Copies of this chain bind each other. A is one copy, B any other.
């Protein structure tokens, strides 16, 4: 499932991790840019995608500048979305839900491992809440899988704080929950999670559970507003079960 993933080995404690070439669709938005920064910081090659290469390039330059002097950092470049996908092994969908389906349909995703962190949310005067996708029986990740049946879609990184991703802490005190129907694709996202949280992500079940992960972000947004914090999820009770 890790199709064409390059295998430049990188030593992290006692593990060797694969270095991926990752297209970040929505790479100029806060979530995409922040995740791209974290992935590149840990040696992955990141291609920020946007509608036009000219929009992606200055953001890529900003991330590259931020990584100056970071030993072992990967490169960060900017391309138009479809070109970014064509150049990558792994595709991170980090776009707003509005227009998501139409955009996904334009991307050459066949054969790629696709990670969706798209959150279908709505906001009104009572705060954030989840949008109903397919009458409650769907999610952005499942929509992407349906639109791109020859890709392997997983859901992950829905709930990590964009502010903290771009912040100064080495790692975020959060867990990355990964859902999907193909174990090997989940493992890619679980491995990438270590760039963000220092721990591999947690296998949280089948792709349909993206219906739960995506709108949970509305709960965290509500907590953030109430307590003036940047909250995240940690899963307790795992002990060392989920650690490397």
| Residue A212 is within 8 A (CB to CB) of chain B in the complex | yes
CB contacts (< 8 Å) of A204 on chain B: these are: 219, 222-223, 226
- Are B236 and A223 in contact, CB atoms less than 8 angstroms apart? no
- Are B233 and A127 in contact, CB atoms less than 8 angstroms apart? no
Q: What is the interface size of chain A, counting residues whose CB is below 8 A from a CB of the partner?
A: 49
CB contacts (< 8 Å) of A136 on chain B: these are: 132-133, 135-137
- Are A232 and B235 in contact, CB atoms less than 8 angstroms apart? yes
If A234-B236, A235-B232 touch, whether A213 touches B205 (CB-CB below 8 Å) is: no
Which residue of chain B is the closest to A222 with respect to CB atoms? B205
Binary flags per residue of A204-244, CB closer than 8 Å to B gives 1, else 0: 11101101110110111011001111111111111101100
- This protein's copies in its complex: 2
Binary flags per residue of A40-63, CB closer than 8 Å to B gives 1, else 0: 000000000000000000000000
- Are B130 and A211 in contact, CB atoms less than 8 angstroms apart? yes
- Are B235 and A223 in contact, CB atoms less than 8 angstroms apart? yes
Inter-chain CA distance A227–B130, complex, in Å, is 28
* Interchain Cβ contacts under 8 Å between A and B, 6 examples: A173-B237, A174-B237, A177-B223, A205-B226, A227-B238, A234-B235
Interface residue ranges, A against B (CB under 8 Å): 126-130, 132-133, 135-137, 161, 164, 173-174, 177, 179, 202-206, 208-209, 211-213, 215-216, 218-220, 222-223, 226-239, 241-242
